[in-house]
Amino acid sequence: MTLKNYWLMKSEPSAFSFDDLRKAKSQTTSWDGVRNYQARNTMRDSMQVGDGVLFYHSNADPPCIPGIAEVVREGYADHTAFDPKDSHYDPKSRKESPIWYVVDIKFVKAFKEPVTLPKIRATKELQKMVLVRPGSRLSVQPVTRQEWEIILRLGGIGREK
């Protein structure tokens, strides 16, 4: 048995919001368009079905985590890289040797109260989150189990399952 891991994934709500995920077909989406190698590696190599995901709204006012999702499909090729008409098209990525990967995530639950970035910054136990590390811009990043539980408590969900 493998232990469940936790992650945080950033999205600009104007591009794709947590509510978009809730309303999506099967409440599921493929996390496409990521063009950063570190984030790619995380999705390709580390994220597993059942892992918990904090959905983060960047460039929002205030930036916040509105709720949680879960990984429902592990890393596979990002098809948007193959499509010349797609804004994320990358001619260097070929179907026989893809460069970019996605995972699928599914809506799990909205927080009673979104956990805002100022709230996270003000919470002592969350000072070491990758999210608030100075200079960190990673769009897919690891979250510790402790951080996960604190965020859920702040969001009003409490202990999950």
Q: Pick between residue 36 and residue 48 the one whose CB is nearest to DNA.
A: 36
Binders of DNA in range 5-44 (CB under 7 A):
10, 12, 35-38
Q: What's the order of all strands across the beta sheet hosting 6-11?
A: 28-30, 101-116, 64-77, 52-57, 6-11, 140-143
The pairing of beta strand 64-77 with beta strand 52-57: antiparallel
Written as six digits, the tokens of 106 are 């599914």
Binders of DNA in range 47-86 (CB under 7 A):
58-60, 62-63
* CA 145/CA 52 separation, integer angstroms: 10
Q: How far is the CB of 18 from DNA (least distance, A)?
A: 15
135 touches DNA (CB under 7 A): yes
Instruction: List contacts with DNA (CB under 7 A).
Output: 10, 12, 35-38, 58-60, 62-63, 117-118, 121, 134-139
